[in-house]
Amino acid sequence: MTRVLVVDDEPQIRRALRTNLAARGYEVDLAESGEQALDLAATSHPDVVILDLGLPGIDGIAVVEGLRGWTKVPIIVLSVRDAEADKIAALDAGADDYVTKPFSMGELLARLRAATRRGTPGPDEAPTVVTDAFTVDLAAKRVLRDGAEVHLTPTEWQLLETLVRNPGRLISQRQLLQTVWGPQYERETNYLRVYLAQLRRKLEADPSRPKHLITEPGMGYRFEA
Amino acid sequence: MTRVLVVDDEPQIRRALRTNLAARGYEVDLAESGEQALDLAATSHPDVVILDLGLPGIDGIAVVEGLRGWTKVPIIVLSVRDAEADKIAALDAGADDYVTKPFSMGELLARLRAATRRGTPGPDEAPTVVTDAFTVDLAAKRVLRDGAEVHLTPTEWQLLETLVRNPGRLISQRQLLQTVWGPQYERETNYLRVYLAQLRRKLEADPSRPKHLITEPGMGYRFEA
DNA sequence: AACCGTCTTGACGCGTCCTTGACGCCGAAG
DNA sequence: CTTCGGCGTCAAGGACGCGTCAAGACGGTT
């Protein structure tokens, strides 16, 4: 869930943004002054800030600077002022985007998506899977056993990866052969036997009595943590 | 020096942007078509792209998507079209910002600064990486070995940089070729062999037995500290 | 026009990995 | 009790990928 902090002194704009954002699945915090915005940002740690420049009390630019002193959260500035100088000042103070009121909600949402997309660099996947016999680091593509690295060939790794990414689930031989060797190898079940044996020899404490790479006769294989 | 790739089919806009950007200390590459833009981006590795949507030939949105297929370089879209749908399409395709023509040069420059500022995150990552054989200064783009500077060619440096920025992680050959040479070189794995050999000859104590630039046969390469 | 550094391209030897077949074991079915 | 199919094991061949070297192409500079 993405948290958005909306800072605006006009109640109707706050309401409009709140309902629109909530309808899109965002979690919304509201602030009506710069001071409140800085407080809320510190406590609620939003993922993105939508900030009206024309605030009573402290200047909107000061709010940008106050935020930038300690966080890199994306800031989208709203303003009725269309003057070039205002835009430049806000952007150079650390804002990420500048939208002139009146704005279209669709555009604002798109700019919001663009801002949050930057924040989350990539689909971070579960990095490591641990068992009592070995550790699989999916991001670094390494396998450790008793602290020492175990070398796996590409095929061995692909096979282990598809099993480990579905812990506890039964994977059919068809599916394993398709994802590792390709669709035309669907019936070469002997490949699976050979490579499962190699993996067990490298990873299991007692390869003849596997505890983690389990055969389900006639159906497929299963990884157990 | 920040590299900017300007993509526009109108010569006068190219000229205007080129002179303005060059005057501010940017290094400017010019492209007048989408195809040329994708090629140039792959070879020159700009730090930010300014892209006109109204290109002859392939659509501007397609250029955004082509770039996003392999790079996260900031993209600022220029367009005469002010329609909300166009903005949303471009932003959701992966653009970072959308500026409507006619635009003010001052604002564009400010948005350019905002885009590049994001690209270089603060002091959160170590600018230098040290091993027992050599030291890589990522900020200064220099490599020291036994106190003396080692000269690297641009390609060698890019390769070393992408490896060193992910210590311990395995980087696939595809990813290395894409980030260093560009998306159309995905299968030229011999490049990797040649350049890894050069890097090892320059950096490793025993190039035939590398301790830091490690090959994972069939999968990719890995940097170990 | 000549030179230099850099990138590209091809060929070759070697080591590793994949493929393939044979064999024994075990449980289920006849 | 016998038969059969599925699974685990092992070993050998051939294919493939990697490291290495060197020559040619390319681009920028003098």
Tokens of A124: 């971070």
Q: Which residue is nearest nucleotide C27, judged by alpha carbon to C1' distance?
A: A217
- pLDDT one-digit tens code per residue, A85-120: 999 999 999 999 999 988 999 999 999 999 999 876
Q: How far apart are CA A122 and CA A137, in angstroms?
A: 17
Residues in chain B with pLDDT values less than 50:
122
Question: Residue A130: which pLDDT band, with cuts at 50, 70 and 90?
Answer: very high
Note whether residue B55 is domain-resident.
Answer: yes
Note whether residue A123 is domain-resident.
Answer: no
Count of domains observed in chain A: 2
Residues B132, B215 within the same domain? yes
Neighbours of B37 (CB within 10 A): 27
Tokens of B174: 């595809």
- pLDDT one-digit tens code per residue, A56-71: 888 899 999 999 999 9
CATH of the domain at A203: 1.10.10.10
Tell me, what's the pLDDT at B121? Answer: 59
Tell me, what's the pLDDT at A155? Answer: 97
Closest CA to A82 of B220, B26, B84, B100: B100
Protein CA at A155 to nucleotide C1' at C17, angstroms: 9
Tell me, what's the pLDDT at A46? Answer: 95
Neighbours of B56 (CB within 10 A): 8
Flag if B217 and A153 touch (Cβ within 8 Å): yes
Residues B108, B154 within the same domain? no
Q: pLDDT at residue A221 above 60?
A: yes
Protein CA at B155 to nucleotide C1' at C7, angstroms: 9
Closest CA to A22 of A49, A48, A4, A40: A4
Domain boundary among B69, B100, B118: B118
Domain boundary among B118, B136, B167: B118
* Contact between A51 and A41 (Cβ < 8 Å): no
Which of A71, A81, A82, A96 to substitute to test the interface with B, most B CBs within 10 Å?
A96
Residues A24, A64 within the same domain? yes
Tell me, what's the pLDDT at A125? Answer: 61
Tell me, what's the pLDDT at B77? Answer: 97
Residues A110, A136 within the same domain? no
C-alpha neighbours within 13 Å on the C-beta side of residue A209: 2
Residues B112, B158 within the same domain? no
Q: What is the mean pLDDT of chain A?
A: 93
* Residues near B69 by beta carbon (within 8 Å), at least 6 away in sequence: B183
Q: Which domain holds residue A64?
A: 3-118
Question: Residue A132: which pLDDT band, with cuts at 50, 70 and 90?
Answer: very high
Residues in chain B closer than 8 A to A158 (CB atoms): none
Q: Lay out the sheet containing A142-145: strands in order across.
A: A128-130, A135-137, A142-145, A148-150
Is residue B133 helix, strand or coil? coil
Averaged pLDDT, A4-32: 95
Q: How far apart are CA B158 and CA B74, in angstroms?
A: 19
Tell me, what's the pLDDT at A1? Answer: 85
Query: Dihedral through CA B109, CA B113, CA B119, CA B120, nearest 10?
Result: 140
Residues A108, A141 within the same domain? no
Note whether residue B123 is domain-resident.
Answer: no
Give Cα separations from A165 to A44, A130, B29, B116, B197 (angstroms): 33, 12, 44, 37, 34
Averaged pLDDT, A133-146: 95
Tell me, what's the pLDDT at B223? Answer: 97
